[in-house]
Chains A and B, each alone.
Chain A
Amino acid sequence: MKTNLVLLLALSSLSSATFAAPLTFNFKDPKGVNNAVFKLDAPLEAVNGNATGISGTVTFDPAAPAGTKGRIVVATSSLHVGNPMMQQHLLGEKWLDAAKYPDISFEAKELKNVKTDGDVTTADVAGTFTLKGVSKEITVPTKFTFLKDKLGQRVPNQKGDLLVIRANFNLKRSDFGIMPGQMEEKVSESIELTLSIAGAAPL
């Protein structure tokens, strides 16, 4: 009886080591470093800015990254450019209409072409991107870096893991109803987006 119990305990610890559980990472960043950078070409000066109001969760299993799912949300009101009048227009009714559409989001549904090398996984993440109330299916080349036991280095007295996600992709503003076919000589149709975010999975 005692031998059976010991064997059962040994088997259960072996299975938990072999099949790592998916971890849920929270991307609300107390350090304020998580950001999305946007860039649109324009004749005088490119429209450059960033957004730091990032939140959301991603479930990631370092042993089986292909099953990654999650949703990242950017607060529209957190988008910022250096010129105050441009800022006002950007968040105004004609452009992003931040008052009516407070969130920009990406929901990851499936990973394709998954390649893992140590703690780094690259994949094409297919999902739904929602901007100004319009949702479109897109695929984004993404890099995931799993930092085991590094949460304590960022947040004192906290144990856990970090997941860094980096992605760079382009969208067309007309696909999301942002001044379609208008002012193309002043503000380019193409929006270049760069996402650099880190999520925490406390123990």
Chain B
Amino acid sequence: MSKSVLRTLAWLVPVAALAFWAAAGANLGWTKTTVPVKKTDEVTGITVDDYQKRFVPGVDFLGVAFLGAGILIGASFLFHRQQPTTPSN
């Protein structure tokens, strides 16, 4: 994998993660895999949070994305810049 590919991924990953996080509601708390949906019993008046499966990315999700970008940037420095080849006469 070349330096340019790694550096492209390094900005694509956090940008994509930010876009997904914003579209999912820009949750400023922790990532959730279940969300509460209120349900009320009409006879007793008791309300309960019925947790339903739904992925809601949080700030830890963004943190992982930016950490991944940092790793990709770091990995890109392990590759030498490819020198253009000059034809011999």
Contact = CB atoms under 8 A, between A and B. Distances in A.
Chain B interface residue number, banded: 20 to 34
B48 A32 contact: yes
A84 B43 contact: no
Contacts of A83: 30-33, 58
Nearest to B31: A83
A50 B48 contact: yes
A82 B44 contact: no
Contacts of B4: none
A174 interface: no
Interface string B12-51: 0000000000000000111111111001010111111111
Interface in A151-203: 153-154, 162, 164, 196-198
A31 to B, nearest CB: 6
A164 B46 CA distance: 8
Interface in A126-168: 147, 150, 153-154, 162, 164
A42 B29 CA distance: 11
Contacts of B51: 50, 80, 82
Interface string A92-108: 00000000000000000
Q: List 9 A-B pairs, minimum CB-CB distance, nearest first.
A: A45-B29, A82-B32, A198-B44, A33-B41, A83-B30, A35-B48, A196-B46, A154-B43, A153-B43
Interface of A: 31-35, 37, 44-45, 50, 52, 80, 82-84, 86, 147, 150, 153-154, 162, 164, 196-198
